Amino acid sequence: MSTPIPQPPGLPVLGNIFDIDPSNTWWSLKTLAEKYGEIFKIKVLGHQIVFIASAALAEEICDEKRFRKYVGGPIVEIRYSVHDSLFVAYEHEESWGIHHRIVAPHLSPESTAGHFDEILLCTDELIANWKTHGATKFQPLKDLNNLNLEATTLSLFGKKLGVIGAAEEHPMIQAMEDATSEAMKRPNRPKLLNWLVYGGKFKKATKVMRSFGAEIVKYRHEHSTGRKDLLSALMNGTDPETGKKLTDEQVIDEIVTMPIGSSTAPCALTSLIMFLLENPEVVTRGREELGRVVGKDQLHHDHLDRLEYIKGVVRETLRLSQAAPGFNIEPIPKTNGDKSPVLLQGGKYQVAHNQPMIIVLAGVNRDPEVFDEPHKFKPERMIGENFERLPAGVKKWFGNGKRACIGKHWAWEFLEVVTAKLIKEIDFEVVDSNYVLKQDGWFNVRPIDFYVKAKARA
């Protein structure tokens, strides 16, 4: 007999609607995972969702022979802004394959390596700014958001925005936050309320994002340099299988999607700064490696493969920050119409044949069955054989399988470059020694109300 899946007690009709804070969904799920363990479920307005919070179950439902990405809830809502782009395309849509075959070659490890100098240039600009102006307290997330947007736009689209060091975040950043937060909240509201009260915010944010995409295209038309980057592929590329090209609208869809996807990186880096302040021995060991590998030279791309400890720092940051907080899975429908329950862990649990499931990485990545001292920041567990021995279920920072983040190689290089430069060149000072981590976020999560001071390394 299978084990019942735990569920918080709920209310008639409304179900568990008050167990989830719509303004901080992922923090609510983290709290529930800590209480209920490896698997739990909730029901909101008649809709049931199952959540996975252990490494073993996460690994099982990432088996692409049995399960696939679930496009529903907030992911369906954000289609209002980006239509059938890579991140939100349904399994049956032809567009996913067309977009993927056009985009993927320009986000491969080889292509990403070609953008190293541009990522480094943007990072150096931010570090120079912090060395000059970081003596007063500031929220690093705001500056890192601008850095990420600058590096994404320059390396993938060939346009320098000039926002690093700006007093305010670029409007695209607020628009992305408004759109994704609204997409997260809409499934749990009556449709009439979404239309009457909240539709204007969604439309305004979408207009800002798509105007940003249109400006990128316009800039390329006016400044054609023969640059063969991702933008060139979006505008001119042809799918090798179908011979189709992207429409003008689809080009903008993907231009908007890329910064939304990469917005997890500054969230992770903000968490990294917090981890470094809490673990000064990590800074010491990181600087020792950087001194040995890089020395007094400028960081070069060929240094990255030799920075094993820095790689461990990045992996451990991704594990504990879970900047991309989870992803959606559903059983692959059986071709014979079989609607029998799906068995998990050899029958220990059962779910319906069409049951949406969400992997909660805050639980999976702290699984005590895998990690000793799971809440402690220990980069050494993410290096060499220690890392290789870890189960695949705790390495899903960029999603899973064919629907994993297509920009994962770019994101990794960006994170490794910025991490190396921050450890090598900046001394951070905590502003509030009593700060306790609190996160919010929608398609990503980040520390909130977190302030630091920064200065050039002595």
Token output for 298:
């400028």
Identify the pLDDT of residue 240: 97
CA dihedral 441, 446, 450, 456 (to 10 degrees): -140
Q: Is the dihedral of CA 408, 414, 420, 422 positive or negative?
A: negative
The DSSP annotation for 317-374 comes to HHHHH-SS-EEEEEEPPPTT---PPEEEGGGTEEE-TT--EEEEHHHHTT-TTT-SST
Identify the pLDDT of residue 1: 77
The answer, as to whether pTM is greater than 0.85, is yes
In 3D space, the residue among 259, 282, 310, 240 whose CA is nearest the CA of residue 82 turns out to be 259
Under a CB-based contact definition with an 8 Å cutoff, are residues 454 and 427 in contact? Answer: yes
Identify the pLDDT of residue 44: 85
The DSSP annotation for 423-440 comes to HHHEEEEES-TT----EE
CATH 1.10.630.10 assigned to domain 17-456? The reply is yes
Under a CB-based contact definition with an 8 Å cutoff, are residues 220 and 154 in contact? Answer: no
Q: Is the dihedral of CA 120, 121, 123, 128 positive or negative?
A: positive
Q: Is 405 annotated as a binding residue?
A: yes
- What single-letter DSSP state applies at residue 454? E
pLDDT of the chain, 458 residues: tens digit per residue: 799 999 999 998 888 989 999 889 999 999 999 999 999 999 987 889 999 999 999 999 999 999 999 999 999 999 999 999 999 999 899 999 999 999 999 999 999 999 999 999 999 999 999 999 877 899 999 999 999 999 999 999 999 999 998 888 899 999 999 999 999 988 877 788 888 888 899 999 999 999 999 999 999 999 988 899 999 999 999 999 999 999 999 999 999 999 999 999 999 999 999 999 999 999 999 999 999 999 999 999 999 999 999 999 999 999 999 999 999 999 999 888 899 999 999 999 999 999 999 999 999 999 999 999 999 999 999 999 999 999 999 999 999 999 999 999 999 999 999 999 999 999 999 999 999 888 998 889 999 999 999 999 98
Alpha carbons 209 and 215: distance in angstroms, whole number: 10
Alpha carbons 357 and 220: distance in angstroms, whole number: 41
Alpha carbons 213 and 196: distance in angstroms, whole number: 27
